[in-house]
Amino acid sequence: MLNNKRPDDMARITTPALAEAFIEEQVAAVREQVGDKKVLLALSGGVDSSVVAALLIKAIGKQLVCVHVNHGLMRKGESEQVIEVFREGLDANLIYVDATDRFLNLLAGVAEPEKKRKIIGGEFIKVFDEEASKLSGISFLAQGTIYPDILESDGVKSHHNVGGLPEGMQFELVEPVRLLYKDEVRVVGKALGLPASMVDRQPFPGPGLGVRCLGAITRDRLAALREADAILREEFDKNGLAGKVWQYFIAVPDMKSVGVKDGKRYEGWPAIIRAVNTTDAMTATIEEIPYSLLHRITDRITHEVDGINRVLLDLTPKPIGTIEWE
């Protein structure tokens, strides 16, 4: 049975030396737990699953089988980065599944946020199950559970637990970072050689852009959202806001307004900028963005992204507004 209580005397991992010591200890623990058996991991590209993947590759190499499911709701370049870092950089045993059409077809016409979340979560489990059932000799399931998940949910991380695996597939869990806080996971990830863009990645909901393409998702609006979001992230990176703002993204509602393009009337969607700071996600304050930067972001999005003709700024703290729109 895994120990789910962080020892009182466990030092906070803040330096590369402490991270190296933790990695060494976990590599030994994983080798002892797993032996010569195979381990399965759903690799989303998020901080936690990426650090677990890198740690397990160091410990057991090709005995780890990573499955990355692209549900078509990833941010621009994210699935490509997972392939580049893990398959090409770390020589991981990686199965990549592009299930974009499958997810978007199921989501067609579905506007209710909770329904969208259920479809995305349920279909993810189905795709993962199908891939898992093609594999033989898997004895363990690795997860990116971290200490706050255990504290919040008494050891059950519903959105990370793959759950509903095929009958007869009994897995023992491997959770090497379960006693770490998020900031410690990032320090360990850097010590493992993962790129800063992956380790410092801001929180991203499981349903991905599915809850930022507001209302019923259409492929054209999703494509516009993905491009606008990439511009926002690029400009925040270039202007020193990436490390200063806890979470920032674009939401695109299912409504159009009239504008002017090339001297003609032009109907387009608005892109809404959301940029907040928080320590625990329970409350959030609005980040002050210089007007000169807002003008630049607006200019780029309205000129470079097909279908968007306005840029709005959400000034609502939490409470009263949640961080995500849906």
**Distance, CA of 252 to CA of 28 (rounded, Å):** 47
**Distance, CA of 242 to CA of 41 (rounded, Å):** 29
pLDDT of residue 165 exceeding 60, the answer is no
**Could you tell me if residue 146 is inside a domain?**
yes
Instruction: Clarify whether residues 186 and 50 are in a common domain.
Output: yes
Q: Which of 262, 269, 265 is nearest to 312 (CA)?
A: 269
**Could you tell me if residue 261 is inside a domain?**
yes
Output the domain CATH number for residue 263.
Answer: 3.30.300.10
pLDDT of residue 158 exceeding 70, the answer is no
**Could you tell me if residue 163 is inside a domain?**
yes
Among the candidates 147, 168, 199, a domain finishes at: 199
- Do 54 and 22 contact (CB within 8 A), yes or no? no
Among the candidates 155, 175, 199, a domain finishes at: 199
Tens digit of pLDDT for each residue in 250-300? 999 999 999 998 889 989 999 999 999 987 778 899 999 999 999 999 999
Domain count, the chain: 2
Instruction: Clarify whether residues 264 and 125 are in a common domain.
Output: no
**Distance, CA of 53 to CA of 59 (rounded, Å):** 10
Instruction: Clarify whether residues 180 and 84 are in a common domain.
Output: yes
**Could you tell me if residue 265 is inside a domain?**
yes
Return the pLDDT at 152. Answer: 73
Return the pLDDT at 169. Answer: 56
- Do 63 and 92 contact (CB within 8 A), yes or no? no
**Could you tell me if residue 205 is inside a domain?**
no
Segments forming the whole domain that contains residue 241: 212-313
Instruction: Clarify whether residues 165 and 244 are in a common domain.
Output: no
Instruction: Clarify whether residues 164 and 241 are in a common domain.
Output: no
Instruction: Clarify whether residues 91 and 229 are in a common domain.
Output: no
Beta strands, E only, the chain: 38-42, 64-70, 93-98, 138-142, 172-174, 247-251, 257-261, 264-277, 285-286, 308-313
Instruction: Clarify whether residues 107 and 191 are in a common domain.
Output: yes
**Could you tell me if residue 206 is inside a domain?**
no
Instruction: Clarify whether residues 64 and 183 are in a common domain.
Output: yes
Instruction: Clarify whether residues 309 and 191 are in a common domain.
Output: no
Confidence category of residue 206, pLDDT binned at 50, 70, 90: confident
Tens digit of pLDDT for each residue in 60-82? 999 999 999 999 999 999 999 99
**Distance, CA of 148 to CA of 239 (rounded, Å):** 31
**Could you tell me if residue 319 is inside a domain?**
no
Tens digit of pLDDT for each residue in 212-236? 999 999 999 999 999 999 999 999 9
Output the domain CATH number for residue 163.
Answer: 3.40.50.620
**Could you tell me if residue 2 is inside a domain?**
no
Nearest-5° Cα angle at 276, 272 to 277: 170
pLDDT of residue 242 exceeding 80, the answer is yes
Among the candidates 165, 199, 233, a domain finishes at: 199
Instruction: Clarify whether residues 155 and 284 are in a common domain.
Output: no
Instruction: Clarify whether residues 172 and 289 are in a common domain.
Output: no
The strand pairing partners of 319, in sequence order, are none
Instruction: Clarify whether residues 166 and 308 are in a common domain.
Output: no
Return the pLDDT at 140. Answer: 95
The DSSP code sequence of 145-164 is --HHHHHHHTT--TTT---S
pTM for this entry? 0.87
Higher pLDDT, 99 or 206: 99
Confidence category of residue 163, pLDDT binned at 50, 70, 90: very low
